[in-house]
Structure 1
């Protein structure tokens, strides 16, 4: 594996992990593994928290999905295996996720720099 391939896998893993753990597009996939807990603040406003289910397979995956590091590990394994076993399919998809991951990191830096200049 060369350096470029390594960076593609790193950025693709970063972006795919963010999609799975945080992005709204994957909310329906995550929902079965969590339960909603409603708490009322001192101001009387309701806040909804998603908490992993407590038992069984759903609880296990809920705990894993609530941990960015855990999900990231398994996404990295998936990306690595897919890259070597089915490169014709994996390479273009991983490249797209890598480009999106790099763009997300650049946007984060730009927003941080703009915030500091205000």
Structure 2
């Protein structure tokens, strides 16, 4: 079994959090999602924005679109990738650390937003 220090586990958790948000929500990675889904927003009668997701294609393309729109689903795969990088390619640790710091900053920002 692999022994992981508590600080490394915290780094892995935060890196997974940030990578998942990067893939599912961030504009900079919309090119990954755009072949598989379209997200639009419409204002309802109360003035609130309602998100609408339209999945493109059938079969595999539709499945990937559904996967990319699911925070929990992408989170599993992101976590797998982060852990595999940590175990098998330790030279990627600085990248994971950067993701972790960005993840912590994003989390703090989301909790201090007005």
TM-score (norm 1): 0.80
Quote the Cα distance in structure 2 between the aligned partners of 1:37 and 1:101.
26
Tell me the residue number matched to 1:7: 10
Q: Which runs of 4+ in 1 moved over 6 A?
A: 36-42
Secondary structure of the residue aligned to 1:50 is strand
Could you tell which deviates more after superposition, 50-59 or 74-83?
50-59
Q: How many matched pairs?
A: 107
Spell out the pairing of 1:36-51 with structure 2 (5 A cutoff). Answer: 49-51=52-54
1:37-70: CA deviations, max 9, x gaps? 798978xxxx883312252211111010111000
Alignment match, 2:65: 62
Gap regions ≥5 residues in structure 1: none
Contact 1:52-1:66 at 8 Å conserved across structures: no
Pairing of 1:51-90 with structure 2 (within 5 A): 51-88=54-91, 90=92
Q: Is the 8 A contact 2:18 2:102 kept in 1?
A: yes
CA RMSD of aligned residues (A): 2.4
CA offsets 1:53-110 (integer angstroms, 9 cap, x no match): 252211111010111000000000010011111111x201100000000011111222
Measured at CA, do residues 20 and 102 of structure 1 come closer, stay the same or move farther in structure 2, by a change above 3 Å? Answer: same
Counterpart-to-counterpart distance in 1, 2:10 and 2:89: 18
Distance 2:8 2:43 in 1: 48
- Return the structure number with greater helix share: 1
Unaligned runs of 5+ in 2: none
